[in-house]
Structure 1
Amino acid sequence: MYSSYQAKYFKEQLTLKRPSNSIENLVSALAGARVDLNPHQVDAAMFAFKSPLSQGVLLADEVGLGKTIEAGIVLAQYFAERKRKILLIVPAALRNQWLSELDEKFYIKSIILESKNFNRLKKQGMMNPFEQKDSVVICSYNFVASKQFEVSKVNWDLVVIDEAHRLRNVYKTNNVTGRKLKDVLNNRRKLLLTATPLQNNLMELYGLVSIIDDRVFGDAKTFRDKYINVDNEMTRNIFLKARLQQFCKRTLRKQVVEYVPYTKRTAILEEYTPSIEEETLYNEVSEYLRSPVLYALPNSQRTLMTLVLRKLLASSSFAISGTLDSLILRLQNMLAGIDSEINLDDYDTLDELLEELDLAGEEDKVDAIKQHYAISEELEKLKSYAKLAKSIKRNSKGENLLTALEKGFSKATELGASKKAVIFTESRRTQDYLYNLLSANGYEGKIVFLNGTNSDENSKRIYKEWIERHKGEDIVSGSKQADTKAAIVEEFRSKAEILIGTEAAAEGINLQFCSLLVNYDLPWNPQRIEQRIGRCHRYGQKNDVVVINFLNNKNDADKRVYELLDQKFKLFEGLFGSSDEVLGSIESGVDFEKRISDIYQNCNTADEIRTAFDKLQEEYREQINEKIINARQTLLENFDEEVSSLLKIRNSETNSSISKYEKWIYYFMLSQGNNNIKVIDDTRFQYIGKEYSGAYNLNWKDSDNRKEIFLRREHPLCQKFIEQCDQNELNLAEITFNYSQSGRKISFIDTLIVKKGWISVSKLVNNSFEEQEYLLVSAICDNGVEIEADLVDRLMALEVLSVKNVESNIIERIVNHQKQLELQTIKDIEMKNKEFFLQECAKLDEWSEDLKNNLQVEIKDIEKLIKEKKKEFDNSIDLDLTQMLDRKEELNKLKRLRDKKRRELYDEEDKVDEENDRLQAQMRSRVKGSTQVKQLFTIRFDIR
């Protein structure tokens, strides 16, 4: 059916190392991803590959536009190029989400490194656990900062930094973590992701760009003088925007509505009144937590523990009851001289809080003998609280949930949605309580769980059935935690009506088939709430999303928290949810939670609570600065018309390139698999072999629906065929293509007068700024008519009638055509490299001018001071002689300093120029690079 020449041709198309800044370079990543690609995401990924000389870029799309997908495309391309030393730095709360997204959408394996497994790997003999093979290393900010030595020893191909606005104040000496990261990652290529690159002042842009590349702007003082302390902001914006556009890219949600259909979110507030017993328990435990000294809580972690205990207290009596037992046990052990930790496993995200707050230090040692009376007194209090908690069998909030679900399902049905709801709680014990409550009230057999362990019997059964159902399929990752999550979500989608999840459920899962979300426990962290809602209110959601929130109407602090989240942060209603300005103003969600916790901890009366929240609200209002919003729009955003036009072009390019790539992989598999492949249609085939047997499909959605294997270049069967194809040596042959019986209509073949000729294919490899390969395809009919390379693609897709070796001299014309292609390709490479070179030179020239200007400004500042001091001296006639001499000496010192700086100026300017010349000379030597050409095959063709 097909020949080894066709297999070779399509294999080379699939594996060619094209220029990094071309759309064709990305197609293997794009075609092999399980995502609905949007043109703005492809455009962002293209921007990241803009120049091989670039030290990195900042992708600053608005919230909800898929920066994870954009980064995933870039990472997938790095993996395809075997550049797999990749470090991903993210907030602790997002580590699992990134791990899941990379695995499920891009087939990229990763490992989360934190203290426990880092130390375990060291003990197992791994010298540097950051040295991972074929896995992305995911770490929190604090962990990377704490492991500078080990991080610095890895030659990273790429470092991705999510929520990079955390580093925008890196230029400040008190930003210890930021400065550590900047130092250890210097000269590594970086991809920064943030929706809020500019929040408070223009120096933040200086900080972020300096993380990427220290040789863009001069120092911080020069940046202030040149771009902040200016009279004409319009002129400033023009010049600063020109310098930023090389490094920063930002797309807005309103610019992509043509490609990303957004549904709305609607809020329902369910107020409830706690029982007398519930209110008593809440007040007594709250008062206990305010005690100046608490032995049950280690001082080193008291802030964290108090925050967690308050959340569990607000969740349910069942949640706090179990935690009180753990506190009681700790005090009893203390009296017995035994050290023990508090068991807070009920709270899923404890490890993340520890990581984020960097509080995982040693506990304080307490002399239990000396403090025996105080500990015993505290123990009795805790026992009384625990007794009260256990006596409460019904929770008012839980009873209201039944009513709220009826309202929610009614609203969802009205909006055309299916009867599905996800309920979020912050406690596993509350999760158990809700399961029993709902099961007893009409939902038995319709509920699934999702938490950090999923150790319940129902989850185990669902997992076991899922593994059996998907045996041998790509969907099974081998990670029990990831596969359990996938099994639960599938069960929820296909059978269950309710998913009760802890925070673990908000990470890395796609619930766009569900449009009713219940915040049974409302987090204080707005970013966490947005993450929860984003599980349902996301790309692919067909219905408006209903969000139900609960509010204790007898708790003044709860009321103000809800008001802040709803009215000021606008999390629950509208088309997009919270704005970037709002979410970005919250430097760290955990820090914000601490602020809220402090109010609960320190305010007793309604007036105190109101005053504290008013102050907090005013702080965040000041941070959402209209002047800065305008500056961000001017400097980082492009006009809608410009963006719209570019996205249309990018959409067309992407679809065209992916379509061509899919044909290459399809025909490569057919031509290399020949006898073992049975064609189903033009995107699917059946492969029968000792291994990897099954139905293969180029379309990931269709493959999921049909339970077929999604065909990617990285699939083991395709890789096996590529290795086999590389071993083939191809001699001169004559191939007869079967066009007349192909059932295809190819106009260019129909117009050919002579349907015989020559095809020659060679590969040009150039090593300059990067290694890049080009396929040189020459096709000439015997009457001299040339066939374009794109048309050779279609010819090569035809089945063959015969292949026979020939002994014939290759015509001179085809040899000459190949030589011309070679020379033109080299010329094009040099022209493109020249552009990269000049662009980088311009950047370095501006950087060196900034440094030199700063040296001159320093002298001008001294001269200004000399004038002031001289004026003071001239007016010092009333002073005594000693004072006059002191002033004269001060003036002379300044003059000597000025003269010294003048002499040094030329030396310093020469040093700057020398460094600039050195860097440019390094690049200049690589502009042309070296070139090799390898002949792949030449054939005589005959089209029948």
Structure 2
Amino acid sequence: MSHYKNIPIGARYISDTEPELGLGIIKMVADKKVSLFFPSAKQIRTYGQNNAPIRRVVFQIGDRVKNLNGEVIEILKVLGGNDEIITYLGDGKSFSETELDSSIHFNRPEARLFNLSFDKSAIFGLRYETLMHEQRLQQNPLRGFLGCRLALIPHQLYLANKVAQYVAPRVLLADEVGLGKTIEAGLLIHKLLLDNRVSRVLILVPTGLTYQWFVEMYRKFNLRFRVINQEEYRDEDKNPFFESELVICNIGLLKGSTLAFDLINEVEWDLVAVDEAHQLKWGRDGSSIEYQIVQKISQKSPGLILLTATPEQFGIEGHFARLHLIDPKRFCDLDKFIAEREKYRELALQIPTMPHSQIENLIDQYGTGRVFFRNSRTTMEGQFEFFPRRILKEYPIINNSKQKIAGHENDDSCTVAFNLKSKWLINFLNNKGQGKIFLICRSKKKILQLERILKENIPNIKIALFHSDLTLMARDRQIAYFAEPDGATILLCTEIGSEGRNFEFASQMVMFDLPNNPDMLEQRIGRLDRIGQKRDIFIHLPYVSNSWEETLFLWYKEGLDAFSYTVKGSEQIFNLCQQQLHNACLDDHKESRSAALSNLLVYTREEYKKLKQELEAGKDLLVELNSFNNDVAASLVSQIKESDRSSILKMYLDKVFHHLGVEEEDLDKSSHYIRPGDNMYVPHFPELPHKGITITYDRARALEREDFTFLSWDHPMAAGVIELILSNEFGNVSVGRWKDSSVKKIIFESIYVFKSLAQKGVPTFRFFPTQIIRTLTDTEGNDYSKKYSKEQMDEKILDISSNDKNSFLLLAQIPRDTILAALKIAERIAIQSLPSIKNGFRNDVVLFHDKEISRLQELSKKNSEDNRDEIFLLEKQREDLISILTKSEMYLDSFRLIF
């Protein structure tokens, strides 16, 4: 039976895993669950009773506690407990535990000392170092960008960094195909989560992209999203959307199930991201169900990220509709929007000659302002050289048999065309030079058959397989095998199996069959043609001559030049040509098929030329200027590279592994194997499975080996270690003896911490990073804090060994009152710093928010835009921050007694 059964509602508990939430209140105990409300953080947590990481807070006689009115008592007597509400009696006053101030801290290092329990100086030093790292990380503007398993691409970092500074990010991301919209969204989500700006994130995706997003978020950002599918919401007793704060959901599920839609709307999401937003249909006469779903969900969420293809390739109405989701007040009238665009086109001619400050004002006042981002390959190619050339190698194969190859709709079968191309593949592999081969085709059946044929015909060939039936772990192993220099020669891959994966270490692609449309063709090539690909890409394409395969191939090659360049407006051009293309492919007669193809190519070239001209004419120069700034982007990349070169994290974690009992083995200069030791300090080390993991601190190595864990200050292991050390007694009391036995003074080296309370959605750490106040005092009240540094004190003392009975006896003889009085002296000195700390923080908050509010007010006067919502959010954030600052206090974190 659970020990929570008889706990009274109102009892006070603390979370061991999230102590920064403050003092919680039991709100509900039922159905094997226990729910707490944390007033300081304004958050609710629900746990299973069997594994709830919480413990009841019971203060002792002599402790000082504060109630909600700010009144303080020293406890003289404790009444109640167990299954009763506790009452604390003081001198003429009494507080119920339900009245206690929720911002109370619970670390009591002096209690350990009274029990003669303490740690060595090295452990005390590690705790102090951990506090310093926590402080530094909270102030680091790059937090959230450091640990992503990504190449450092300037425009992606620039965009994410810029949007992260918005009070409530609501943006439309519309970079061209291959520039990394998913990465941009992931960077933004990751940063907002680590900065405590958001906690509940929902990603809505179309059918087929669920797994891609899950993999991208996990592999690149260490974010563990939960995928909600049709089976998840049928339990009448639970809402699965409440059970995880990070959720990916197929929008088709919400369209097909009213229940699922109702359940997802019960949750207050902090941020919603919607992929393929151009599929949300809207017109003057009405909107699609998908559009209505996103509209309703996004109305309740402060943050919204829409990801779309080139925005206007699906019409001006669709572009307006997506902007309306982002900002319904600003984009409320389609006719007005179109008229403003025409007015802007006249102004755009003057932009190249304008000064920077005037351009910044124009971005705010005209068009889509700061909510719309679009980078193009053309623009980026002018700045950076990270796009490879695509080199097509075509291999026409003559069909000498009397059998016809299967039609396009039956091309998954392993018949004549498959056999002809299998023979070609054997010859190709036998004659190829060095390099990895990435082979892709439509069906798993073909892949498995190819594996068998290659093994039978090419001795000792090393093959990796990748298809949708493999588990996540099996896929990782296959990629690692393919990535290793002496690993697999060829990867046989299906369309679905490769979603969300990075194969940029390969540059040779065999396209064993052709996809149905140019979008899918671009996705295939995009497996290798990625930002970060350092070599030219060779596309090897075998096809059967005088067949529908040749017709489709020539349409892609000669009509669209799709093998050399990304097709702009691919869906539009495909829709225009689809019927003619279909008819040409079905024509069995050589002469008539040739004529049909000739006509098709003329029509395709003409329509594609017109489409590209329309898209180019629709370019928005202000949008391009808003989307990228080379100087800012270069600075971000440079700062992250500097952080990557630093060895501070490795040196810190090496100490942590040593002191906490994690075994570490160097595999080479950039990779290490760690596993739980037999005598670990804690039962479970953060992010370390029982079997161990291979880690690397090197970004380039991590990009090569997806099966390695890329450790950075952003990684959950680093964050978990900091939380583990600071939320436990680890190093919070240390005792040492003077090396110079003639010194008789008793010295207290005390570490006080000012740490703001955490509140959902409020950037407390950004404005109020942890402050550390070190004091060095004796029992007579003398202050040596400025005279001797911690490092100097380390040189003057010795640890007490466990068999040093004399030192333990002398320590036990130090009166309890002497210790408490000495700590009071240290507290009195430390607290003198508090007013200046709080005043500095308060001034920073007021200055920042007043400046932003003034800017928005001026903007409203200039262009008659309604910025009241954003101003209200800034005013509320300012108010919340000052309220949190007022309630936040300094506390004793740790101390070292030297005698």
- Match among 551, 558, 566 for residue 557 of structure 2: 566
Residue 758 (structure 1) shift:
8.2
Q: Which runs of 5+ in 2 are unaligned?
A: 1-119, 352-358, 740-746, 801-810, 812-818
Relative distance call for 1:797 and 1:267 in structure 2 (3 A) is farther
Q: Deviations over 1:82-106 (max 9, x none)?
A: 9553222234333322222222222
Distance in 2 separating the partners of 1:421 and 1:274: 25
Q: 2:67 maps to which residue? A: none
Relative distance call for 1:609 and 1:679 in structure 2 (3 A) is closer
Q: Does 1:185 find its partner at 2:298?
A: yes
Whether contact under 8 Å (1:699, 1:710) holds in the other structure is yes
Q: Which has more helix, going by share of residues? A: 1
- Match among 447, 452, 458 for residue 431 of structure 1: 447
Q: Deviations over 1:772-830 (max 9, x none)?
A: 1322345699999999xxx9999999998569975573497764443212101111112
Distance in 2 separating the partners of 1:737 and 1:57: 61
Q: 1:935 maps to which residue? A: 890
Q: Does 1:271 find its partner at 2:396?
A: yes
Relative distance call for 1:231 and 1:273 in structure 2 (3 A) is closer
Q: Does 1:152 find its partner at 2:265?
A: yes
Secondary structure, aligned partner of 1:278:
coil
Letter in 1 for 2:612: I
1:268-307, aligned counterparts within 5 Å? 268-279=393-404, 282=406
Q: 1:133 maps to which residue? A: 244
Q: Which moved more, 1:710-719 or 1:616-625?
A: 710-719
Relative distance call for 1:447 and 1:776 in structure 2 (3 A) is closer
- Match among 210, 227, 232 for residue 95 of structure 1: 210
Distance in 2 separating the partners of 1:800 and 1:193: 60
Residue 671 (structure 1) shift:
6.0
1:419-568, aligned counterparts within 5 Å? 420-443=436-459, 445-453=461-469, 481-494=471-484, 495-555=487-547, 557-568=548-559
Residue 648 (structure 1) shift:
2.3
Whether contact under 8 Å (2:225, 2:246) holds in the other structure is yes
Whether contact under 8 Å (1:512, 1:538) holds in the other structure is yes
- Match among 130, 149, 163 for residue 276 of structure 2: 163
Letter in 1 for 2:875: R
Distance in 1 separating the partners of 2:830 and 2:752: 7
Letter in 2 for 1:399: K
Relative distance call for 1:35 and 1:229 in structure 2 (3 A) is closer
Whether contact under 8 Å (2:283, 2:317) holds in the other structure is no
Q: TM-score, normalised by structure 1?
A: 0.63
Secondary structure, aligned partner of 1:222:
helix
Distance in 1 separating the partners of 2:738 and 2:383: 43
Secondary structure, aligned partner of 2:177:
coil
Residue 160 (structure 1) shift:
1.4
Q: Deviations over 1:54-99 (max 9, x none)?
A: 2412333443333333322333345544955322223433332222
Distance in 2 separating the partners of 1:424 and 1:729: 53
Relative distance call for 1:757 and 1:590 in structure 2 (3 A) is farther
Q: 1:699 maps to which residue? A: 697
Q: Which has more strand, going by share of residues? A: 2
Q: 1:246 maps to which residue? A: 370
Relative distance call for 1:522 and 1:487 in structure 2 (3 A) is same
Residue 768 (structure 1) shift:
10
Q: Which moved more, 1:42-51 or 1:83-92?
A: 83-92
Q: Does 1:632 find its partner at 2:619?
A: yes
Whether contact under 8 Å (2:466, 2:498) holds in the other structure is no
Q: Deviations over 1:436-485 (max 9, x none)?
A: 4433432565334332225xxxxxxxxxxxxxxxxxxxxxxxxxx11121
Distance in 1 separating the partners of 2:660 and 2:464: 46
Secondary structure, aligned partner of 2:306:
strand
Relative distance call for 1:15 and 1:593 in structure 2 (3 A) is farther
Secondary structure, aligned partner of 1:92:
coil
Q: Which moved more, 1:134-143 or 1:795-804?
A: 795-804
Relative distance call for 1:125 and 1:169 in structure 2 (3 A) is closer
Secondary structure, aligned partner of 1:33:
coil
Residue 708 (structure 1) shift:
7.6
Letter in 2 for 1:537: D
1:106-145, aligned counterparts within 5 Å? 106-113=221-228, 117-118=229-230, 120-125=231-236, 127-140=238-251
Q: 1:364 maps to which residue? A: none
Q: Does 1:213 find its partner at 2:327?
A: yes
Distance in 2 separating the partners of 1:40 and 1:737: 57
- Match among 755, 763, 769 for residue 755 of structure 2: 763
Q: 1:674 maps to which residue? A: 659
Secondary structure, aligned partner of 2:212:
helix
Residue 259 (structure 1) shift:
7.2
Q: 1:775 maps to which residue? A: 770
1:666-815, aligned counterparts within 5 Å? 667=652, 670=655, 674=659, 676=661, 688=677, 689=680, 692=688, 697=695, 699=697, 711=711, 715=716, 719=720, 722-723=723-724, 725-728=726-729, 760-765=752-757, 770-773=762-765, 774-778=769-773, 806-807=822-823, 809-810=825-826, 815=831
Relative distance call for 1:156 and 1:44 in structure 2 (3 A) is same
Relative distance call for 1:939 and 1:428 in structure 2 (3 A) is closer
Whether contact under 8 Å (1:274, 1:395) holds in the other structure is no
Letter in 2 for 1:449: L
Residue 732 (structure 1) shift:
9.7
Distance in 2 separating the partners of 1:785 and 1:16: 24
Residue 729 (structure 1) shift:
10
Distance in 1 separating the partners of 2:795 and 2:286: 66
- Match among 17, 33, 57 for residue 148 of structure 2: 33
Secondary structure, aligned partner of 2:527:
helix
Q: Does 1:43 find its partner at 2:43?
A: no
Whether contact under 8 Å (1:732, 1:938) holds in the other structure is no
Relative distance call for 1:834 and 1:706 in structure 2 (3 A) is closer
Distance in 1 separating the partners of 2:203 and 2:890: 40
Whether contact under 8 Å (1:439, 1:445) holds in the other structure is yes
Distance in 1 separating the partners of 2:587 and 2:255: 34
Aligned length: 706
Secondary structure, aligned partner of 2:546:
coil
Distance in 1 separating the partners of 2:794 and 2:385: 35
Residue 517 (structure 1) shift:
1.0
Relative distance call for 1:720 and 1:656 in structure 2 (3 A) is closer
Secondary structure, aligned partner of 2:399:
coil
Q: 2:64 maps to which residue? A: none
Letter in 2 for 1:226: E
Distance in 1 separating the partners of 2:738 and 2:537: 56
Whether contact under 8 Å (1:512, 1:541) holds in the other structure is yes
Secondary structure, aligned partner of 2:888:
strand
Distance in 2 separating the partners of 1:841 and 1:823: 27
Distance in 2 separating the partners of 1:534 and 1:259: 18
Q: TM-score, normalised by structure 2?
A: 0.66
Residue 167 (structure 1) shift:
4.3
Residue 270 (structure 1) shift:
0.8
Distance in 2 separating the partners of 1:431 and 1:520: 10
Residue 522 (structure 1) shift:
0.8
Distance in 1 separating the partners of 2:855 and 2:789: 36
Whether contact under 8 Å (2:695, 2:710) holds in the other structure is yes
Q: 2:875 maps to which residue? A: 924
Secondary structure, aligned partner of 1:228:
helix
1:649-664, aligned counterparts within 5 Å? 649-655=635-641, 663=648
Whether contact under 8 Å (1:511, 1:535) holds in the other structure is yes
1:8-27, aligned counterparts within 5 Å? 8-12=127-131, 24=141, 27=143
Distance in 2 separating the partners of 1:659 and 1:798: 30
Secondary structure, aligned partner of 1:121:
coil
Relative distance call for 1:131 and 1:170 in structure 2 (3 A) is farther
- Match among 341, 356, 368 for residue 227 of structure 1: 341
